Structure 1
Amino acid sequence: MSDTAKPPRTPWGTFPDVLIHAPESAVKQHHAYKAAKSGDGASAIALVNDTMSEQQNQRLAELLRGHTPTLVSAHAYEREGVNAIPEIFADELSKTLGWPVDEAVLQTNVVAHTGADGFSRLARQAEFSGAIQPGCDYVLVDDFVGMGGTLANLKGYIESQGGRVLAAVSLTGKPHSAKLALTPERLRELRMKHGTELENWWIGRFAHGFDALTESEARYLARTATADTIRDRIAAAEQA
């Protein structure tokens, strides 16, 4: 992440849990997964059609009854190429729900989160660009939710440009990662563990306070023994 481009984040409010469609094993052990992750569109279509959950689509439609949001995917650059899964997932959701897809918003940097540890995910923050329609409602679409930082940054980008993000969906992810919105209890735990000095350092490094972290990010930091360890591991991951 460059010094001049620090992805914005916005308050969580009552943001709903991510709707996760399938277990990790069903997605990552699928015969088409590797090719889809490397950019093969036909493989991505096969993967999404085999693992997308009609029940979760119905839950999303019910959650946003009365809205016609735009689906926007986190086009992620991987070591092997551009991950085709989020865009194809958004396209398939559009066919099912009748909602439009925005293809103009793109991730502009390579973060290499797949297989990365928590500090690498925290250090290498996804950045986005592309036109946002002020006042428009959006739903975020991704293939995997881990610590939730990419979704948090995509939400921040859209809302900083005047859009409204109503929900997020992911093809797979860890069940505990579905909760993006930071709880007051977790925020209090993190601040009591590591104090004001680390949070001020964090603001200087990432341009947002602990209150803009996801629940999983805050839990990860709260379980790290010392503030010095956090600073050292973040610095090392940024230089890797």
Structure 2
Amino acid sequence: MDEQEAIRAARQIIDEIHDERIFDLIGEYVRFGRTTKVLAPIKIPGVNTNALSMVYAQATANIFGYEVEDRVFQITSEKRDRKIDPMLRLALPPVFAGEIEAGADYILIDDVFTTGGTLAGLRGYVHRHGGNVIVCSTLAAGTRVTREATRYDKRQMGVALAPTNARVRDLRNALGDEYHAVDSVFCEGLKYGLQQLTEQEARFVSNQARTIRTCGESVSDWFAGKILAARSPEI
């Protein structure tokens, strides 16, 4: 499928599944009178067009009269893109490059919310370079994300990216006296700590920690080994 065919297919998918009320919700976060851009985690041109994100970003920009930022790219990681294993995706956070306009507001757009790592990484990149992320929106979310959202409106209109207070407590309880050791492993291996995990990533770490503890193993050693293995050339 060439690029134009991919874009046409993406438009058809968006027309079929998108709820127009999302634009009303996005509009509640817009700060009029400020420079605002729409940004999607687009891969480097010629590598992966990510048509769904591109088309959704352009549709959002058209609604509000903004521009799609085309100077920021996600540097592809073939190992990460081809895997759905949450540990591998956690151990290989996305890397971004390109120019962010300091002081500008950004609406982040993506196709599917799974663990939230891509959006969280892009948000961090924007903030580190002086921009402001005002809202994030995706076309769909995985079943793990929406499992606890039983009402239709909640499934359609918002799920948690940052960990809830309950999730933070659960993570601390699951790690127990190894909390700081695991945090150090993450800071050393991933360059960010447990406080920067998304809701779904924190859920995964909590569940894994309980399983590891049941087996009598060290949680920090397990995560250190998994991070090292994920980055090895053999995978």
Query: What is the TM-score with the length of structure 1 in the denominator?
Result: 0.76
Q: Matched residues in 2 for 1:160 and 1:131: separation?
A: 11
Q: For 1:162, what is the secondary structure of its paired residue?
A: coil
Q: Percent sequence identity over matched residues?
A: 26
Q: For 1:139, what is the secondary structure of its paired residue?
A: strand
Q: How many residues align?
A: 204
Q: Matched residues in 2 for 1:37 and 1:85: separation?
A: 11
Q: Matched residues in 2 for 1:81 and 1:64: separation?
A: 29
Residue pairs, 1:36-47, within 5 angstroms: 40-47=6-13
Q: Structure 1 residue 67: deviation in Å? A: 6.1
Q: Matched residues in 1 for 2:64 and 2:102: separation?
A: 22
Q: For 2:231, what is the secondary structure of its paired residue?
A: helix
Q: For 2:99, what is the secondary structure of its paired residue?
A: coil
Q: Matched residues in 1 for 2:12 and 2:168: separation?
A: 40
1:236 pairs, out of 208, 229, 234, with: 229
What are the ranges of 5 or more consecutive residues in structure 2 without an aligned counterpart? 147-158, 213-218
Relative to 1, partners in 2 of residues 1:81 and 1:130: Cα closer, same or farther, differing over 3 Å?
closer
Structure ranking higher in helix proportion:
2
The CA RMSD over aligned residues, in Å, is 2.5
Q: Matched residues in 2 for 1:191 and 1:132: separation?
A: 35
Residue pairs, 1:1-240, within 5 angstroms: 40-64=6-30, 66=32, 69-76=36-43, 81-111=48-78, 112-113=80-81, 116-174=84-142, 176=145, 178-194=159-175, 195-224=179-208, 225-226=211-212, 227=219, 228-239=221-232, 240=235
Q: Is the 8 A contact 1:38 1:82 kept in 2?
A: no
Q: For 1:133, what is the secondary structure of its paired residue?
A: coil
Once the two structures are superposed, what CA deviation does each residue of 1:10-61 show, in whole Å capped at 9, x if it has no partner?
xxxxxxxxxxxxxxxxxxxxxxxxx599982222222223322211111111
Relative to 1, partners in 2 of residues 1:103 and 1:39: Cα closer, same or farther, differing over 3 Å?
farther
What are the ranges of 5 or more consecutive residues in structure 1 without an aligned counterpart? 1-34
Q: Matched residues in 1 for 2:203 and 2:3: separation?
A: 28
Q: For 1:135, what is the secondary structure of its paired residue?
A: coil
Relative to 1, partners in 2 of residues 1:87 and 1:43: Cα closer, same or farther, differing over 3 Å?
same
Q: Matched residues in 2 for 1:210 and 1:42: separation?
A: 40
Q: Matched residues in 1 for 2:86 and 2:5: separation?
A: 25
Query: What is the TM-score with the length of structure 2 in the denominator?
Result: 0.78
Q: Is the 8 A contact 2:185 2:223 kept in 1?
A: no
Which residue in the other structure is 2:151 paired with? none
Q: For 2:42, what is the secondary structure of its paired residue?
A: coil
Q: Is the 8 A contact 1:38 1:81 kept in 2?
A: no
Q: Over alpha carbons, which structure has the higher Rg? A: 2
